[in-house]
A = this chain, B = another copy of it.
């Protein structure tokens, strides 16, 4: 009888010890939520990424960054997008996402205007929203994370200037009506003018974001300008078109081409030397830091100013330049989709 009691005592002690250890672990994991023992959330917290033309390769690395951050922070993600290049479709998708009250939403806006009302509705309902890749400056979204296109143009000019030893004639083939392409062109022109006194930009032409149109424009430029030795294509279709024109005219690799983005056609031309360099955008950074910001907004890990909600304060950095990497024959292998 006495020994049985002892066994019971030991069993009860075991149970209490077990409870204590568990309770201790739970306390260290859940007290103060995301603020003690590291930055981590709850797997039930769902963050949603919303975009347009959701099937294209460009977004894969954005989503990977979003997922990587979610894995580290122990939260969940969902990927929703308009399959077409269609503002109404993206607005509908965004409205569906908002209706489910997720922990946060990262949106790439198909144009600056179409989603403003929906984004503001979400923010006013207490759902954190950040914009990545393509912004909507008039919305109440907390921040924009994407490429500083002016700086991208600066890098393109510096790359071309180096390749041409600081002298020669250059042209730009771009989309003259689109803001991000205007910024790339302006950064390129300003840099040539201020940093390369022996270089000139002799033409800025419209390639319409189309491979064949860009090829035709480039062909004409090459024919009319025998001293042309550099072309900056501000988007990927144009870059491949320009590559075909330069090769067709028998002026590769004397005429150096700087292009944009890292689709397979562009990378193949970098590999073969027809395109000297292409500018890779920081897509992984866009996804990763979008989720990091949303997490901070959701958990209100913000500066300890009294009444920050009323103060109109920037709860997270309102604008994040996610960077540009120059891709050349040396590092092109790293950029093919795995």
Contact = CB atoms under 8 A, between A and B. Distances in A.
Given A311-B331, A319-B321, A14 B10 contact: yes
Interface string A297-338: 000010111111011111011111111111000010111000
B312 A322 contact: no
Contacts of A322: 314, 317
A114 to B, nearest CB: 23
Contact of A316 (B4, B285, B313): B285
Contact of A17 (B18, B74, B314): B18
Interface stretch (A60-68, A93-101, A224-232): A60-68
A241 interface: no
A74 B40 CA distance: 13
A37 interface: yes
Contacts of A306: 333-334
Contacts of A25: 21, 25
A289 interface: yes
A148 interface: yes
Contact of A334 (B18, B305, B324, B326): B305
A311 B285 contact: no
A66 to B, nearest CB: 12
A177 interface: no
Nearest to A331: B311
B37 A39 contact: no
A303 B10 contact: no
Contacts of A311: 325, 331, 334
A307 B323 contact: no
Contacts of A117: none
